[in-house]
Homo-oligomer: A and B are copies of this chain.
Amino acid sequence: MPNNQFKKGELYSFITGKASTAIARRLQKKFNTAGLNITIEQWSVLYHLWKQEGISQQDLCNATFRDKPSITRLVDNLEKLNLVKRVASENDRRINQIYLTKQAQKLQEEAMQLADETLNEALIGVPPERVDVCKEVLQIVYDNLK
């Protein structure tokens, strides 16, 4: 009976993602305070577009681990905020390529700075090697279930 030391009480907070919820709320508050008018979910999409523009909505689904309707609506809202533009692909007219506006490009530095800050606050008092273990465990969990 493997991993049975993992008792129910702790199981619960694993499933509900208490820690990641706390991080997300902290980051959202930082965005609000700084006057960055975006949600964490919108940020998570922008994050991938900052790394590479012009990817498809399907690419964003894979990158953010969301389904297609979720991405459709996130892109809808980002378009309303004038942060991204849908551009129909020349080669394959089913595909929308998503591009950043200048406004979104300007956000990158501040948003990523606040994200870094949040992570640093979250990890105060945690030795680097323990963070690495945690990261690896979470990756295995993800791989086991995906």
Contacts A21-B65, A44-B16 known; A8 to B116 CB distance under 8 Å? yes
Find chain B residues with CB under 8 A from A115 CB.
Answer: 8, 11, 15
| CB contact under 8 A between A121 and B144, given known A8-B116, A12-B47, A17-B20 | yes
Main SS class of interface, A: helix
Per-residue interface assignment for chain A, residues 12 to 36, with 1 indicating a CB less than 8 Å from any chain B CB and 0 otherwise: 1111111111111111000000000
The CA-CA distance from A28 to B10 in the complex, in Å, is 18
| A119 interfacial contact with B, CB 8 Å | yes
**Interface size class, chain A:** 35 or more
A130 within 8 A of B: yes
A135 touches B10 (CB 8 A): yes
Residues of A within 8 A of B (CB): 2-3, 5-6, 8, 10-27, 40, 44, 47, 64-65, 112, 115-116, 118-126, 128, 130-142, 144-146
